[in-house]
Amino acid sequence: MSDHKPQAKGKKTSLILGGLGIGMFAFGFALVPLYNLVCSISGINGIATAANRSEVVMSQVDTDRLITVEFDSTLNDGLPWKIEKPPAKIKVHPGEMHQISYRATNLSNKAIKVQAIPGITPWQATEYFNKTVCFCFETQTLEAGESREMDLQFVINRDLPEEYKTITLSYTFMNTDRSRI
């Protein structure tokens, strides 16, 4: 009789641990969709749904306002790339589509895969700055010595509050494979 109690207790513990493992796997699997949902709702990192992008693109241009858009870029520690950004700043009308390019050059003798992480200042303007085409949507791989134009197409939503007259778009370029530096 005493032999059955430890076996029952061990079986119960195994079931609990197995359920916990499955629950942790399911939670990890759900993190990416949850992250995308939070970003699309809050506008963090400029991530917007396709429906939001097409809605913004189809809005009318506000020719009575000009917004200054400044561009900045940073290379993560030790990244052997050269980034030539567009003019330091441009003036745009809200609702007007703009396209600019960054030029990247891999200065190393190896292929390097990089992810550009965007940031918008002031953060309150993030939900109004909509990228419809951006090199930051995917990782960029440049072979040794290769140069490439990387396009960015954006529109500032007409609903941007009047108090925001300057928006800074920053990119931090990060090597996705730290072992290859």
Q: Please answer whether residues 135 and 86 qualify as being in contact, where contact means their C-beta atoms are separated by less than 8 angstroms.
A: no
Residue with tokens 């009318």: 60
CATH classification number, 46-180, choose in 3.40.50.410, 3.40.50.1580, 2.60.370.10, 3.40.50.1950: 2.60.370.10
Digit-coded pLDDT (tens) for 134-174: 999 999 999 999 999 999 999 999 999 999 999 999 999 99
| Domain residue extents for the chain | 4-42, 46-180
Q: Please answer whether residues 67 and 162 qualify as being in contact, where contact means their C-beta atoms are separated by less than 8 angstroms.
A: no
Digit-coded pLDDT (tens) for 42-99: 555 544 444 444 444 445 888 899 999 999 999 988 899 999 988 889 999 999 999 9
**The pLDDT value given to residue 9:** 79
Which residues is 73 bridged to in the sheet?
171
Most confident of 16-20, 35-39, 118-122, 174-178: 118-122
CA distance 131 to 142: 23
